[in-house]
Amino acid sequence: MSVPAAYVGVILIWSTTPLAIQWSAQGASFSFAVMARMLIGLAICLALLVATRTTFPFTAAARQLYAISGLSLFAAMLLTYWGALHIPSGLISVIFGLSPLVTGVFAALWLSERTLTPVRIAGLGLALGGLWLIFGQPWPGDSHATLGTLAVVAGMVMQALGLVWIKRLNVRASALAITTGSLGVATPLFVLAWLVADAARLPPDTTLRAGAAIVYLGVLGSVVGFTLYYYVIKHLDAGRVALIMLVTPVAALLLGQTLNHERIPALGWAGIALIGAGLLLYEWQALRQLNGPRTSPGA
């Protein structure tokens, strides 16, 4: 696989995922949309496990890994899908752009990693200031925008917590095995959430766009995107990987405005700019590697 093609693929998939989440819930409830996505993703992962004969560890440690990963996936996605009903899709990508900062904080507190240098703390402060500005804005079109923003932030925090917890367990398993195991735990919970929220009712009038978005997220968002991301991590240095988190929010915002006619208040843009500056400062050390020699074979 070409590394540049995989790199562009990750940016394209992650930039379009927030908009696809919103579209997938049009004509269908958010609980059905996320459940259908996970069912598709799990079916594909199981097929890939069999086709590639990938080892699927099932030791006590591996089961604990799948449980933690699946529970964090369930909480993060359920909150994000509900929040996506009430805020612009581009803002979802901006909030998830904060994930490296939150992950770094959890790693410093829980894994005793010395990741919070003075420069990174300054970047974290800028990003939190931007988030505060965003929370203070009356977003257009929905009276639940503040709660929606809070839900997506909570979902992002749950995802970051799950990542650090997985790292703390330090279980050896392939990316496909981890993805399959986590989906195996999360998918029944999504089915249960659909049963509770919608009483197992199928959507009466799902649009073609909503159906296509669900399939897109199940195939590309849940399987292909993460496979490409792990491939990119393996072949590129940290600076080039960090650029993905800087580019995708901008691309998602432009897509939301162009394809979904989303309007963001002026102070909302200021908050987004502060978050971007904070993320840039937080990843500054890694980004400096871009001017240095390439240290990996795929770079």
Largest CA distance in the chain: 58
Token output for 264: 């963001």
Nearest-angstrom CA–CA distance, 165 and 89: 28
Please give the Cα distance from 136 to 146 (Å, whole number): 8
Q: What integer pLDDT is reported at residue 44 of this predicted model?
A: 95
The confidence score (pLDDT) of residue 137 equals 66
Within the chain, which residues score under 70 in pLDDT? Answer: 1, 137-142, 237-239, 289-299
Q: What is the pLDDT of residue 292?
A: 53
Look at the alpha carbons of 283, 155, 93, 69 in this order and tell me if their dihedral is positive or negative. Answer: positive
- Taking the complete model, does pTM exceed 0.85, yes or no? yes
Q: In this structure, what is the dihedral angle of CA atoms 86, 87, 90, 96, given to the nearest 10 degrees?
A: -90
The answer to whether 93 and 12 have CB atoms below 8 angstroms apart is: no
pLDDT tens by residue, 80-113: 999 998 888 988 999 998 888 898 888 888 888 7
202: left (phi over 0), alpha (psi -120 to 50) or beta: beta
pLDDT at position 291 is 61
pLDDT at 295: 44
Residue 281 CA to residue 279 CA, distance in Å, equals 5
Residue 150, Cβ neighbours under 10 Å: how many? Answer: 16
pLDDT of 77? 95
Is-contact 279 247, C-beta < 8 A?
no
